[in-house]
Amino acid sequence: MSKVLEEFPLYLEYLSYQKNYSDKTVLNYEKDLENYEAYLVKEKINYKKITYQEARNYRMYLSIEMHLSSSSVSRHISSLRSFYNYLVREEKIDKNVFSLLKMPKKEKKLPKFFYYNEIEDLINASRGDSPKEIRNALILEMLYGTGLRVSELVSIKLEDISFGERKIRILGKGNKERIAYYNVKVEEKLKRYLKESRPYFLKEKTSTYLFVNHLGGKLSVRSVQNFLDELIAKTALQKNISPHMLRHSFATHLLNEGCDLLSVQQLLGHESLSATGIYTHVTNDRLKDIYLKSHPRAHK
Query: Among 173, 185, 214, 286, which one carries the catalytic annotation?
Result: 173
Asked if 182 is an active-site residue, the reply is: no
Q: Which one of 100, 129, 154 terminates a domain?
A: 100
pLDDT in tens, 19-32: 888 888 889 999 99
Residue 198 forms part of a structural domain = yes
Active-site entry in 56, 178, 192, 244: 244
pLDDT score of 282 more than 70: no
Residue 112 catalytic?
no
What CATH number is attached to the domain comprising 36? 1.10.150.130
Q: Are residues 78 and 34 in the same domain?
A: yes
Does the annotation mark 299 as catalytic? no
Do 21 and 96 belong together in one domain? yes
Is 247 catalytic? The answer is: yes
Catalytic: which of 75, 135, 149, 189?
149
Residue 218 to residue 230: CA distance in whole angstroms: 20
Read off the pLDDT of each residue in 156-182 and give the average, rounded to a whole number.
Answer: 91
Assess if residue 153 is contained within a domain: yes
pLDDT tens readout for residues 203-222:
989 999 999 999 999 999 99
> In this structure, is residue 291 part of a structural domain?
no
* 58 a catalytic residue: no
Q: Note the pTM of the prediction, 2 decimals.
A: 0.62
Q: How many domains does the chain have?
A: 2
Instruction: State yes or no: is 56 an active-site residue.
Output: no
Q: How far apart are CA 251 and CA 254, in angstroms?
A: 5
Q: Does residue 161 sit within a domain?
A: yes
Name the catalytic one among 270, 295, 297, 300: 270
Query: Is residue 173 in some structural domain?
Result: yes
Segments forming the whole domain that contains residue 90: 8-100
Question: Per-residue pLDDT averaged across 138-165, rounded?
Answer: 94
Q: Are residue 124 and residue 94 in the same domain, yes or no? A: no
